[in-house]
Amino acid sequence: MTLAKSPWIIHVNVNSCNGCDIEVVACLTPLYDAERFGVLNIGTPKQADIMVVTGSVNYKNVNVLKNLYNQVPDPKVVLAVGACASTGGIFHDCYNVIGGVDQVIPVDAYVPGCCPRPEAILDGVVAALSILENKKKGNVKGKEVKMKGNEVPSNA
């Protein structure tokens, strides 16, 4: 049970418009107070349990995202926050956008909305907790996502 009692979060912004980021930060304010669940917004991926990703992935930051994902120690859960992180959102057919976060790394839970309310994000985090426990129980390890040198396709 202890994994679910102290989820530490790393917040990754891949090309987000800052709308979702404001809402993620709002979860930590006195009104919503995510810390009552033991949630800490931690700076380094090596100490995080839940990776909160906002924004649609593009060719500039895809390797950063993969690198951060590989650095989170198991058991880990990825939470895609917002329409862009879930599907690509309004930017899905932009020339430089790859799409949602699940195109690059495995995503465990989605929080839809543009932008999602802090209550929805907290619900997402709470949903991620049981996934975290199950991963520990089943000893599920995240696979290392390989990085490529040049992600930009030739026709872009």
Q: Kindly list the residues in this chain that would bind other proteins in the complex (CB under 8 A).
A: 2-3, 5-6, 30, 33, 35-38, 40-44, 46-47, 49, 71, 73-75, 136
Q: What are the CA-CA distances from residue 64 to residues 22, 55, 69, 105, 109 (Å)? A: 21, 13, 9, 12, 20
Q: What is the nearest approach in angstroms of other proteins to the Cβ of residue 80?
A: 21
Instruction: Please choose, from the candidates 85, 126, 81, 125, the residue with its C-alpha nearest in 3D space to the C-alpha of residue 102.
Output: 85
Q: What is the nearest approach in angstroms of other proteins to the Cβ of residue 48?
A: 9
Nearer to other proteins, 60 or 137 (CB): 137
* Bridge partners, residue 8, by sequence: 40
Nearer to other proteins, 97 or 132 (CB): 132
Q: Is the dihedral of CA 83, 9, 132, 135 positive or negative?
A: positive
Nearer to other proteins, 18 or 96 (CB): 18
| Backbone dihedral region for residue 18 (phi beyond 0: left; psi -120 to 50: alpha; all else: beta) | left
Q: What is the nearest approach in angstroms of other proteins to the Cβ of residue 141?
A: 8
What order do you get walking across the sheet with 77-81 strand by strand?
40-41, 8-13, 50-54, 77-81, 109-111
Nearer to other proteins, 23 or 49 (CB): 49
Count, in order, helices (H) and strands (E) of the chain: 5, 7
Nearer to other proteins, 30 or 153 (CB): 30
SS3 116: coil
Q: What is the nearest approach in angstroms of other proteins to the Cβ of residue 12?
A: 12
Q: What is the nearest approach in angstroms of other proteins to the Cβ of residue 111?
A: 22
